[in-house]
Amino acid sequence: MMESLCRRCFTRIAFQSRRSFASIATSSAAAPAEPSVEPLIDLDAPEETPSYDDFLPDYKRPPSSFQLAASTVISRAPLLTRELTPFETEFFFYQRRLDKRLVKPFVRNFYFKPGTLAYDEWRRKRLGMKVYNPYGDEHWKDELRYGDSPQEDENMDYDSLVKYTVSGEDISASDTEEEIAAKKLMTKPLPRETEADINNDTRSLNRQLSRTLYLLVKRGDRENNTWKFPQANIEGRQNLKQTAEGSLTKACGRDMNYWMVGNVPIGYYDYQLPDGKAKGENGELTGKKVFFMKARIFAGRPKLTGNKANIADYQWLTKEEIEGVVEKDYWKAIRRMLVTR
Amino acid sequence: MASITPKMLPMNCARYIKSLDSTFLQRSRPSIAAINAFLFPTSSSTPTSSNRSFTTTAPLQKRDPAGHRRFGRVGRHQIRHPRYYRGPYHPHQPPKPSDPSSREFVPGPFTSERLWDHYNDTIAADLMTMAYTHSAPHAVEKPQKDRLRKWEGDSPYFENRPRRGPRGKDYLPLTHRPITFRNVPRLEEVVLHCFSDASTLNPLAIRVAIMAAQSITGSKANLHVAKATVAAWKLKKDQQIAVTCRMSGPSMYRFLATCIDVVMPRIKEYKGVKGTTGDRSGNLTFGFDPEVVAQFPEIEVNYDMYPAKMIPGCHITCKTTATSDRDARMLLTAFGVPFYGKIKTY
């Protein structure tokens, strides 16, 4: 069978057949005497390497002078909206003003019936608002005055939003002043810049919330180690995904909750081993080929204590910051697979 | 006169020249600067009517330096160009639609769209990685089988006859190309469709449906009439019965984000979108009840103004560039649309 099938097809068939036998196995197996309750995650347990089923025991990798390796590009997607450039801010403001000049004016009687509570509330809220009226006498004042930001002019800062948009519908006459204040209170949004940003704590995932962050690690066992994505050599008959996951577990422990995006590499890097480092079973290895696999983190943090890959330090960096810390050749190989934002 | 077109001169200036003796102008062939000096005399050099001459070459100061009277009415944004295009040889050529003074100008965008940015920065790259199928470099692509069958037989009528449709189907399914960085599935258009069954009894209901659809989508509504009379549904032919709104670009992403983040979480015991939705070509549809449509923030803010029980339910069709429903579902799942129940394999 093995001669006629490729490895991928063979794996699929073997996997399917194994699943079909699983139900037979469970039905025939004797019920366990006493179900033991185990904790979901045993943090103190020794880390074990993931076991992989070998579907092709006779398969032998063809000889090559390159050592194959897989590396995990684990990233955190942006959590906040992107920051607008000054030009975009100005441009959007200009377009909003143009829109106000070109569309028909707001017909208040159509949206709010005169004499109703909603109408009164709407009028009351508008009293203090700085509103540009393209149909009034001062229609020509459609530009910002010196020192005004567009946000300030359009009542979009926190205080104005609370003042002009929070409705008092659920406030009843019997409420005390404190209760009214509590009902009108709107949670103030947290600043875009976090504490980790201010302290420049690159180990924290809570930094650069509007950017994609990538995990880089540094080995501590040699002098001239540089920053890299977690990387491991392919051993035995592991595939790229398994090796990449294994490299992450070895380097950063099991405290990270992540998912692997797809089964294919997103990047590739090869280099020649320096003279005197060429090795292998027969001394035939002259270089290394690294395949980058993509992963996304949900939560957690790398655990360095007791890691098997001699990792001394880790950082969560943006694309520009990565350029500053990695080697030039490495940067050339990885820069195309990192998103701009 | 032939060398001086109205395009090069202020409008009132051109009119003035027309009223002058054309033969005189043709003979002398004055420069524009000379005409300007003639038409807008300044106080420094005030030529009398008797000794006005075109020999002055130095341009004098204009009376209207800002050019407000150049065309149309006074004021920067109050220019009204002629309504109809009068051909390429007419002196007035309409401006581009991107020009704010154009009649076709639509302002925008007004802000960056969160969902669109999220798609560009996060989702698109992930979708491509997940859907990638490797083929060796310089691998020869298998030629596709003919999807339309030939007419086989000895009949002379089979010659040059258009080919037969696919076996067992009356439609030709889309071909699937491997996903590369060029054709990552993306959202193309969102269409909101409201069938207002209340308008069979009350013609006012279709107006309510129009206003509801326009306020939640922010785009102009298209009216649809009934094709046929159906007595059981009290439907009459040519009766205005349904409304559609099309959205694309930023407004489409804004609408979808409102659906996903504001409206869907408010629905009680919401299971999600049915997993079997789709037309096999990457267009998925889901629907909202009238009570749910009333939950849209644009309607909720002045809910009292809508007559009772006239807000219609709606169907929302998401047209994607995916060629299969599977890929389209993956895209919408990444946006945050929940799917439930039986999931189709295609």
At A46-103, the pLDDT tens digits run: 555 555 566 677 777 777 788 999 999 999 999 999 999 989 988 999 999 989 888 8
Look at strands B240-247 and A267-272 and give their pairing.
Answer: unpaired
Closest partner residue to B126 (CB to CB) among A116, A261, A341 is: A261
Residue B138: inside a domain, yes or no? no
**H/E/C letters for each residue in chain B?**
CCCCCCCCCCHHHHHHHHHCCHHHHHHHCCCHHHHHHHHCCCCCCCCCCCCCCCCCCCCCCCCCCCCCCCCCCCCCCCCCCCCCCCCCCCCCCCCCCCCCCCCCCCCCCCCCCHHHHHHHHHHHHHHHHHHCCCCCCCCCCCCCCCCCECCCCCCHHHCCCCCECCCCCCCCCCCCCCCCCCCCCCEEEEEEEEECHHHHCCCHHHHHHHHHHHHHHCCCCEEEECCCCEHHHCECCCCEEEEEEEECCHHHHHHHHHHHHHHHHHCCCCCCEECCCCCCCCEEEEEECHHHHCCCHHHHCCHHHCCCCCCCCEEEEEEECCCCHHHHHHHHHHHCCCEECCCCCC
Closest partner residue to B302 (CB to CB) among A95, A111, A339 is: A111
**Range of B289's domain?**
187-340
Tokens of A220: 């501590």
A99 and B125 within 8 Å at the Cβ level: the answer is no
**% of chain A exceeding 90 in pLDDT:** 40
A262 and B125 within 8 Å at the Cβ level: the answer is no
**Sequence-distant (≥ 6) Cβ neighbours of residue A307 within 8 angstroms:** A250, A251, A252, A253
Q: How confident is the model at residue B48 (pLDDT cuts 50, 70, 90)?
A: very low
Mean pLDDT of A108-135: 85
Residues 247 through 306 of chain A touching chain B, CB cutoff 8 Å: 261-262, 264, 266, 294, 296
Q: Considering the domain A63-79+196-337, what is its CATH architecture? A: Alpha-Beta Complex (3.90)
For the stretch B140-154, pLDDT in tens is 888 888 889 999 999
A92 and B110 within 8 Å at the Cβ level: the answer is yes
Which residue did the predictor score with more confidence, B16 or A282? A282
Q: How far is A78 from chain B (nearest CA, A)?
A: 8
Q: How far is B145 from chain A (nearest CA, A)?
A: 24
* Confidence (pLDDT) at A166: 66
Farthest CA pair distance, chain A: 93
Chain A partners within 8 Å of B110 (Cβ): 92, 95-96, 99
**Sequence-distant (≥ 6) Cβ neighbours of residue A274 within 8 angstroms:** none
Q: How confident is the model at residue A147 (pLDDT cuts 50, 70, 90)?
A: confident
Mean pLDDT of A143-154: 77
* Confidence (pLDDT) at B39: 61
B110 and A84 within 8 Å at the Cβ level: the answer is no
Residue B181: inside a domain, yes or no? no
Chain A partners within 8 Å of B305 (Cβ): 110-113
Q: How many CB atoms lie within 10 A of CB A175?
A: 14
Does B107 touch chain A if contact means CB atoms closer than 8 Å?
Answer: yes
* Confidence (pLDDT) at B169: 86
Mean pLDDT of B96-115: 91
Residue B102: inside a domain, yes or no? no
Cα dihedral B56, B58, B64, B69, rounded to 10, equals: 70
Nearest chain A residue (CA) to B108: A95
* Confidence (pLDDT) at A182: 74
pLDDT at B96 over 60: yes
Nearest chain A residue (CA) to B212: A111
Chain A partners within 8 Å of B117 (Cβ): 81-82, 341
Distance CA A235, CA A287 (A): 16
**% of chain B exceeding 70 in pLDDT:** 77
Q: How far is A112 from chain B (nearest CA, A)?
A: 7
Does B117 touch chain A if contact means CB atoms closer than 8 Å?
Answer: yes
Closest partner residue to B111 (CB to CB) among A92, A118, A261 is: A92
Q: How confident is the model at residue B283 (pLDDT cuts 50, 70, 90)?
A: very high
Chain A partners within 8 Å of B126 (Cβ): 261-262, 294, 296
* ipTM score of complex: 0.80
A-B contacts at Cβ under 8 angstroms: 67
Closest partner residue to B121 (CB to CB) among A110, A118, A212 is: A212
User: Average pLDDT of chain A?
Assistant: 81
User: Average pLDDT of chain B?
Assistant: 83
Which residue did the predictor score with more confidence, B266 or B167? B266
Does B302 touch chain A if contact means CB atoms closer than 8 Å?
Answer: yes
- What CATH number has the domain bearing residue B246? 3.30.1440.10
* Confidence (pLDDT) at A3: 52
Does A123 touch chain B if contact means CB atoms closer than 8 Å?
Answer: no
Residue B216: inside a domain, yes or no? yes
Which residue did the predictor score with more confidence, B166 or B129? B129
Please state the domain count of chain B.
Answer: 1
Q: How far is B279 from chain A (nearest CA, A)?
A: 26
Mean pLDDT of B220-247: 96
Q: Which of A29-43, B116-130, B170-184 has the highest mean pLDDT?
A: B116-130
B305 and A78 within 8 Å at the Cβ level: the answer is no
Mutate to test the interface with B, among A102, A117, A121, A166 (most CBs of B within 10 A): A102
Would you call the peptide bond into B6 cis, given omega within 30 degrees of 0 as the criterion?
A: no
Helix (H, G, I), strand (E, B) or coil at A296: strand
| Residue boundaries of the structural domains of chain A | 63-79+196-337, 86-184
Q: How confident is the model at residue B311 (pLDDT cuts 50, 70, 90)?
A: very high
